[in-house]
Amino acid sequence: MSVRTVSVRRVSDEWAIRFEHAAKSYAAGSSSSGGGPAAVDDLSLDVRTGEVLVLVGPSGCGKSTTLRMVNRLVEPTSGRVLVEGRDVAALDVVELRRRIGYVIQNVGLFPHRTVAQNVATVPRLLGWDRTRTRTRVAELLELVGLAPDRYARRYPHELSGGERQRVGVARALATDPPVLLVDEPFGAVDPVGRRRLQDEFARIQRELGTTVMLVTHDIDEAVRMAGRVAVMSAGGHVEQLAAPLEIVARPATPAVADLVGRGRTARLLALGRLQRDDLDPATVAQPDAPVVRLGDELGEVLDVLARDGVTSATVHADGVLVGAVTPAAVLSALRRLVGPESLDVRT
């Protein structure tokens, strides 16, 4: 049985997850604060089908609580959460969790089970036969970049942190869930490995079209991974919900500006693309100048222009010369991205 077949009651293809005035206060049942502010106060938010929506914000602002309300690891105090049109509170919790992949930072692999056995956890629970399970495990290990003949029989302690994280992703994807929840997935991995994992995760998500809700406190991870970013502040309050470029270029509130403020120009260089309007009409393309393309990242264009002896680059679109670009043109492209205001959002 494919997991997707249980989603026939889907009422909307527009969104896969919907929060309707969802709130969570731990105070009532918690031994700790005894009446502190709500972890999530009043959240209304849609996650579109097939998108990667990233929740980013400072520690304690309610990101994980929000995520866990989707698979009912946390039950809302009020309001509701819908997955593919169905109120999760009305669903059998075991069935719900089988339909929703969940990846967390330290993965939670079973230490005494091999990689293959870990990945096969849910297929086994669903009673898949051995051949089907084995084929699926091999497929998944390939998908996450772990050669099955090298990794299937290893135990978690024989893997690096990044490899364990890949196994966690493979396990979460075992039954091709329509929705995947991911909480600080790459936090424990070094920066280079982290970037590689982010790229691979993005490739897998594009390939499978899974709806992903991902939590991070790292704004760079957020803007790299997201289709849309929800910047949160205390109480699960959404400060801004927008595409990464919009968040970085035009922060809607001081809290968002604070989060993206430092290193903002570098982020804009990675997110902004060279457009025809950016080209310098007064600069003539030199025959020996390096070539860039319309649509290239501004950062890549600047890299080319930063090379010794280069004052301009020739710009091509579909193999045809369309003009030239200078460092000043990249600067005006940055200004185009942020609009009329200054580049320094902190003022």
Ligand X SMILES: Nc1ncnc2c1ncn2[C@@H]1O[C@H](COP(=O)(O)OP(=O)(O)OP(=O)(O)O)[C@@H](O)[C@H]1O
Where does this chain bind ligand X (CB under 6 A)? 26, 30, 32, 39, 59-65, 217
* CA pair distance 4, 175, nearest whole angstrom: 9
From the CB of 22, what's the least distance to ligand X, in Å?
A: 12
Q: Which is nearer to ligand X, 69 or 279 (by Cβ)?
A: 69
Q: Is 185 helix (H, G, I), strand (E, B) or coil?
A: coil
Q: Which is nearer to ligand X, 45 or 122 (by Cβ)?
A: 45
Query: Sign of torsion, CA 83 89 92 96?
Result: positive
Q: Which is nearer to ligand X, 61 or 304 (by Cβ)?
A: 61
From the CB of 185, what's the least distance to ligand X, in Å?
A: 13
Q: What is the Rg, in whole angstroms, of the alpha carbon atoms belonging to the chain?
A: 23
Q: Which is nearer to ligand X, 151 or 186 (by Cβ)?
A: 186
From the CB of 162, what's the least distance to ligand X, in Å?
A: 21
From the CB of 268, what's the least distance to ligand X, in Å?
A: 25
* CA pair distance 328, 334, nearest whole angstrom: 10
From the CB of 72, what's the least distance to ligand X, in Å?
A: 14
From the CB of 241, what's the least distance to ligand X, in Å?
A: 16
From the CB of 217, what's the least distance to ligand X, in Å?
A: 5
Q: Which is nearer to ligand X, 64 or 326 (by Cβ)?
A: 64
Q: Which is nearer to ligand X, 59 or 342 (by Cβ)?
A: 59
User: How far is residue 117 from each of residues 114, 125, 131, 141, 155, measured CA to CA in Å?
Assistant: 5, 12, 13, 12, 9
Q: Using an 8 Å Cβ cutoff, are 40 and 69 in contact?
A: yes
From the CB of 32, what's the least distance to ligand X, in Å?
A: 5
* CA pair distance 27, 35, nearest whole angstrom: 5
Q: Which is nearer to ligand X, 26 or 128 (by Cβ)?
A: 26
N residues, the chain: 347
Q: Which is nearer to ligand X, 222 or 337 (by Cβ)?
A: 222
User: How far is residue 142 from each of residues 40, 200, 262, 288, 320, measured CA to CA in Å?
Assistant: 38, 12, 38, 44, 39
Phi, psi of 48 (to 5 degrees): -75, 150
Q: Using an 8 Å Cβ cutoff, are 4 and 22 in contact?
A: no
Taking residue 28's Cβ as centre, other Cβ atoms within 10 Å add up to 8
Q: Using an 8 Å Cβ cutoff, are 273 and 295 in contact?
A: yes
Angle between helices 191-208 and 161-172 (to 10 degrees): 20
